[in-house]
Structure 1
Amino acid sequence: MTSIRLKFRPSTNPAKEGTLVFQLIHKRTVRRIRSKYRIRNDEWDKKYEEIALPSPASERYSRLKIIRSNIMYELKRLKAIAEKLDCSGKDYSLEEIIQKYISGTDTGCSVFDFIRAQVAHKKQLGKIRSSETYQTTLNSFMRFREGIDLTFDMIDSELMEHYEAELRRHGLLRNTSSFYMRVLRTNYRLAVEKGLTPDRHPFKHVYCGMDKTVKRSISFAEIKKIKELDLSRKRVMDFARDMFIFSFCTRGMSFIDMAYLKKNDLKHGCLTYRRKKTGQLLVIEWTKQMQDILDKYKPNSTQYLLPIITREDGNERRQYQNQMRKINRRLKDIATSIKLPVPLSLYYSRHSWATIARCKDIPISIISEGLGHDSEITTQIYLDSIKSYEVDKANRKILKDL
């Protein structure tokens, strides 16, 4: 049997922090592993051999809570390694425990590794956007944990409340912190399904919903003003404007769908494509406004319809992302030039199309079909009976004065 305890080495200088160490004893042999964490002398509870947390109002509270959580995880790791070696029935030394601990070979079912595996799985399925959101969440959670991994059975409501508080302390809005919580919750539930942990309902005290946000829309008059701007001497702004108007003309098509439109998607006066987000098939009547934009740009040598992805070299997604960032920056410049009181972006075209359509008394069910909102329960019952020509009729009604 191996005894493993947390110890504290106080600094000889009272003004400096001491070091937390793990003490291992096996067959009268003693070894110590220095942790990377340091605390003040008065923050150590000698009686219980643990970090003494101050009042939550203390400026040191959050820092010490993270250290205590991470230290307990490391202590649990060491004990688990020793228990596994004990159960093997073979003789072992402290060096074996320390080697396994340092190499990290004991963390095959860790939370970090599990989410990394899900990122890779999403990529294999072609769900690139989902893989990116998983990776972003993992990066955020790893920063919160200061790179110290943990197992799923260590995730509890207290840890999630603390993570949420840290996100908010760094200025993240409630919807943003909720985004991270929902991704973590999805992975946690999958781990429960796989039998990696019993469900301790760790997300019951954190916010995982979606607050209503201000709709990002502008008026038809403002859309028309943007369309009629003379940007012939400002090529990059002209292109940004054209992509914005093309999105509006195509019923608020998302930029990723625009980027991946193929030349053979345009046939017999109709543009047919599947939404990247939902896989829903949409058919849009090809209009003069769309053709005018297409005619401004020379046909490229790729399979893509619009000059967003211009090279088929394996970096298509990066080209799309770079173009989106550039266009959104230029759209903000355009908004400033015409004194729009909003930070214009490509997403405004989608909200604007829906808002303007509603103002023209177009039924919400048809607007929902036009936007490809196949996941909206409140409008789903109408979708099966709506024909494509009805949506095209709605689009013509919007575009006739453009």
Structure 2
Amino acid sequence: MSDQRDPARDPAPYDALLLLSFGGPEGPDDVVPFLENVTRGRGIPTERLKEVGQHYFLFGGVSPINDQNRALLQALRKDFAEHGLDLPVYWGNRNWAPYLTDVLREMVRDGRRRIAVLATSAYASYSGCRQYRENLADALAALEAEGLDLPRVDKLRHYFNHPGFVRPMVDGVLASLADLPAEVRDSAQLAFTTHSIPTAAADASGPEEEHGEGGAYVRQHLDVARLIVDAVREETGVQHPWELVYQSRSGAPHIPWLEPDICDHLEERRTAGAPAVVMVPVGFVSDHMEVLYDLDTEAMARAAELSLPVRRSATVGADPRFAAAVRELLLERAAAERGVPAERCALGALGPSHDLCPVGCCPARTPKPAAAGADSPFA
């Protein structure tokens, strides 16, 4: 019974954790159907999707994201077991199998009534948070239409500044710097990369009067970048110049998106005399297709054209420290739900994020119901 558990290891009221991710194709025949799922409702022709899918076809039509989620799933289960946390962990995707609705249905049939959700996106934004909540609402509505008893779902807070997310990235930067030729190592510059989004979406990711231009999305990334730069300086004694840059833009040319693009940044840095650059994919949890293609393929090719020594540091992936961070996030939220004080780990200037997204948080152009927030239609 929960009252016999160590309070620091008590997941009550939760009876399951759901790892919620984007999904990706696992073979050439999956690519276009996957992209149709991603772009549903936008009226994009199949021929255009085939063009976009060339990034996937270069790698046999397989995105690495599903295997990376399988690895994270196993890391979470291992960490939970080692720390006496008796809680099942499930995995569902927005855009490919295992689909979120199917997994939630399975969880309901397994008797799960209170579900904590970890999204594989660490920062505030529409696409990184609210869209996942909209997907949860869609899935719950589908189960309700089937006559199933709905579980309560709670999305765990943003973890961009949790030590278990930040420290593995610090180690990745240190390893990349060590891999550079000694003559350029100390003068190398750091390019922190994340997904570009429309500037309007960035501004709407938090009150501009509170967060400034770019909203919470930009401010959170800048805070993490500073944490990593400071940690690298403490380890090496070197203060590396740095900048937050963007990648993977996919919108119409006339719509303003966050800039500069990583490839443009590399060219500008070379022109300015930078001897080397380490690309730090701070905005991504794992080495999925946007890291594999936009950085490891496209940006590396541009650096080679510029004769600019470049390294790409590792993402967090299934690092045991990240798995431990997820456990801590789950237990702190469980304690809060029980009304018990708990430590909320966070580095940097911004502190721990809110547990419950407020009404109107990170709005879409077309309002849709979103679960796991203050404006959730599901109790």
TM-score by length of 1: 0.24
Q: Which has the larger radius of gyration?
A: 1
- The TM-score normalised by the length of structure 2 is 0.25
Say which structure is richer in helix: 1
